[in-house]
Structure 1
Amino acid sequence: MPPIPGRRGRRRLGAALLAAAALYGAPAAAADEPAAPEPAAPAWTAAPATARPGPARPYFYLAGPAGTVLEDRLTLDNPGDREYTVTLRGADADNAPDGALAVRPAAPGVAGAGSWISFGGSASVKLPPRTRAVVPFTVTVPPAAPPGDHPAAVVAAGPGREAGVRIHLRVGGPAVAALTVEDVSVRGHGAATTVDYTLVNRGNVTLTPELALSAAGTLHEPAGRPARALPVELLPGRRARLSEPWPDAPALDRVALTLTATAPGAAPATAEARAWLAPGGTAGLAAGALLTLAGTALAALLLVRARRTRRLRRAADGLPARQDAAAEDEHAHELTELTELTGAPR
């Protein structure tokens, strides 16, 4: 009969049994863990319908005279295994304050192109799994619609997401391209200098502008910026507040800036601004002004002392008083010239 282990032996035996149970139970526990979820199937998409085979269209392009009815078709594609219900509506395209494209709902009573879009009885579409639906729609251009571009969009809304497809709509008639640059200002200093400005599309067609920057300085010949395309599509009647980096700006100077904006078909638009550039920005300008005033005060003090010294010398040499008065006028003139040169107030 084997001996019965003591209290210490029983403890060691229990620890060994627990370790063995953990070792042999680990694979079973891992097998009971839930499997990683499979990647979700892509959600539904919306795009202009295309002939098959045929190239994909990134947007709708429709054109016609005022009073006409234009037609096109939208494709809704659901490649997943879940059914969706998608609601369709028209919207007006717009520029955000920074120039980015956005959409806004077509408001009742407003003559925006979004309100011209109609889906008939198909404004709500059910998409079964792995199906594609082609939805026709019309754009009814009012008889009094002005010529030019009328940007719009078709917006499809479903569970948890929205998709917009742009419509480039042009109403027949004279096309006017007109661009202006306004509200130019400078901020920052050194390599972080930035020129802020506003572009305004005053015509009736969409513009893709370019911008060039030139500068003239008092102390330097600052480098400008050659014309470059801006990442903005400016819609008719819209404005955008933009910023242009100017890393080559002088560290300390009084500069005159000229911005020149161009766009296809539009006359060049220019705007000018003048600015002080100094290290530290406003604080640097304030320090420079104080130094200028201090220099003016020091120069005036030196002139007064020099005048007093010359008076004493003239008195010692016995010069007439009229010569002393002429010398006083001469020194007053010198002080005036010094004040005008430094720009300090009299």
Structure 2
Amino acid sequence: MVCASFAAAATSFATPGDSPVTWAVTPSNVEGPDGRSWVELELDPGASVDEHLAVRNLSDRDVTFALTAADGYFTPTGRFNMLPGDKQSVAAGIWISMDKTVTVAAGGTAVVPFTVTVPDNATPGDHAAGIAASIYSQGGSDGTQLGVESRVGFRVMTRVKGEVRPALSMKATASYVTSWNPLESGSADLTVDLENTGNVRLSVYPSTMVNDARWPAAGTEEARTLELLPGDRRTVSIHVPHVWPMGIMTIPLTVSQGVIAPDGATQSLDPVQESVTLWAIPWPQLAVLVALLLLLAGLFRGRTRRKKELVRLVEEAREAGRREAGNPLISGRYPGSGKSVRTQ
């Protein structure tokens, strides 16, 4: 089993029975590290350029590092990585040629040249690769056979000259999360699928405006946008709190975008906009409304029953009065005499 990792900064790696190895790999000139974090190139098809990398051995012993290059990509969390050693590169990773190993003295730095050669038939646009220095250990301290490769490197971005075609595809869905407290609002969750369908790198920033507040994608910040290579797909989530259920709702979604140039500058493009529809049924409020209606209906039926009972009692009293007035034995009078008699 091989476990590989890729770091863009100095890292430490402990091999069984040896002291830890700490090293760093950065772009450089012929004299040493030149302050760049990665290499950005712009070349014609068929052109080549010579570059350099510096391997700094920060440990207390001499170390021989393996040097590799491979196709590059961004992970779902937005970190740059390169294909592991057991995966075959088919793109920009095979454009890079250099020595396969370098031995660096303890505390020393070695500058290694490498060459990037663009094929004659390379398509215009951005192509990503990674370059790394690695060490490999076989076997663990407990006797297990576990191959571990640890890599430290940086990205090599090559823009092949030609027609630049930026394009971004977006699909979004939304769902409503109900708060069962009728006096509290719920929330909306948006899932946004983004795909760079063009041929150049894009910086994108998904967000929505709800209740006069801007809500970005989870994990993004104002100063940090997502970066998509050509062909990259990324799914992001936007959580919008304080959304009152209003039945059928429409949430506006905006993805700001720009083309990342080889010099690192970003050229803004028109944003991609879409309206996302969702059902936000006010179940708690409807339950309260139904309860109130049932209460009012009960009160109304009770009032109606009492009114009917009162009418019935009045009618019975009237009927009793009429019977009493029409019966001489009950009234105590003989018809036509005008005299009353006392009965015993």
TM-score under structure 1 normalisation?
0.62
Q: Provide the rounded CA distance (Å) in 2 between the counterparts of 1:100 and 1:242.
A: 14
Unaligned runs of 5+ in 2: 1-18, 137-148, 179-184, 217-221, 259-267, 298-344
Q: Provide the rounded CA distance (Å) in 2 between the counterparts of 1:233 and 1:178.
A: 13
Aligned to 1:238: 232
Match of 1:167 among 156, 171, 193: 156
Q: Provide the rounded CA distance (Å) in 2 between the counterparts of 1:169 and 1:57.
A: 15
Match of 2:115 among 135, 138, 142: 138
Note the C-alpha offset of 1:151: 1.2
Percent of residue pairs identical: 28
Q: Provide the rounded CA distance (Å) in 1 between the counterparts of 2:33 and 2:110.
A: 17
1:209/1:230 CA distance change after superposition, 3 Å = farther
Note the C-alpha offset of 1:125: 1.6
Note the C-alpha offset of 1:290: 6.9
2:127, 2:157 within 8 Å by CA — same for their partners in 1?
Answer: yes
Mean alpha-carbon deviation: is it higher for 43-52 or for 61-70? 43-52
Is 1:270 matched up with 2:273? yes
Q: Which amino acid aligns with 2:100?
A: A
Match of 2:22 among 43, 51, 64: 43
Mean alpha-carbon deviation: is it higher for 99-108 or for 262-271? 99-108
2:26, 2:33 within 8 Å by CA — same for their partners in 1?
Answer: no
Aligned to 2:207: 212
Note the C-alpha offset of 1:240: 0.5
Q: Provide the rounded CA distance (Å) in 1 between the counterparts of 2:293 and 2:202.
A: 52
Is 1:178 matched up with 2:155? no
Aligned to 1:37: none
Q: Provide the rounded CA distance (Å) in 1 between the counterparts of 2:74 and 2:177.
A: 27
Q: Deviations over 1:82-102 (max 9, x none)?
A: 122211111222122344433
Structure (1 or 2) with the greater helix fraction: 1
Q: Secondary structure at 2:94's aligned position in 1? A: helix
Aligned to 1:251: 244
Unaligned runs of 5+ in 1: 1-39, 216-221, 279-284, 301-346
Number of residue-to-residue matches in the alignment: 255
Q: Which amino acid aligns with 1:234?
A: L
Map 1:35-184; keep pairs closer than 5 Å.
Answer: 43-50=22-29, 55-105=34-84, 107-108=87-88, 111-119=90-98, 122-159=99-136, 161-184=150-173
Q: Provide the rounded CA distance (Å) in 2 between the counterparts of 1:214 and 1:270.
A: 12
1:76/1:229 CA distance change after superposition, 3 Å = closer
Note the C-alpha offset of 1:286: 5.6
Note the C-alpha offset of 1:261: 1.0
Mean alpha-carbon deviation: is it higher for 194-203 or for 41-50? 41-50
Note the C-alpha offset of 1:226: 7.1
Q: Provide the rounded CA distance (Å) in 1 between the counterparts of 2:38 and 2:223.
A: 22
2:27, 2:34 within 8 Å by CA — same for their partners in 1?
Answer: no
Q: Deviations over 1:208-229 (max 9, x none)?
A: 11233135xxxxxx33417856
Structure index of larger Rg: 2
TM-score under structure 2 normalisation?
0.62
Q: Secondary structure at 2:202's aligned position in 1? A: coil
Mean alpha-carbon deviation: is it higher for 80-89 or for 224-233? 224-233
What is the root-mean-square deviation of aligned Cα atoms in Å? 3.7
Aligned to 1:339: none
Q: Provide the rounded CA distance (Å) in 1 between the counterparts of 2:238 and 2:254.
A: 12
Q: Secondary structure at 2:243's aligned position in 1? A: coil
Structure (1 or 2) with the greater strand fraction: 2
2:194, 2:234 within 8 Å by CA — same for their partners in 1?
Answer: yes
Q: Which amino acid aligns with 1:139?
A: V
Q: Which amino acid aligns with 2:174?
A: S
Note the C-alpha offset of 1:112: 1.3
Map 1:286-301; keep pairs closer than 5 Å.
Answer: none
Q: Provide the rounded CA distance (Å) in 1 between the counterparts of 2:228 and 2:33.
A: 30
1:95, 1:240 within 8 Å by CA — same for their partners in 2?
Answer: no
2:76, 2:234 within 8 Å by CA — same for their partners in 1?
Answer: yes
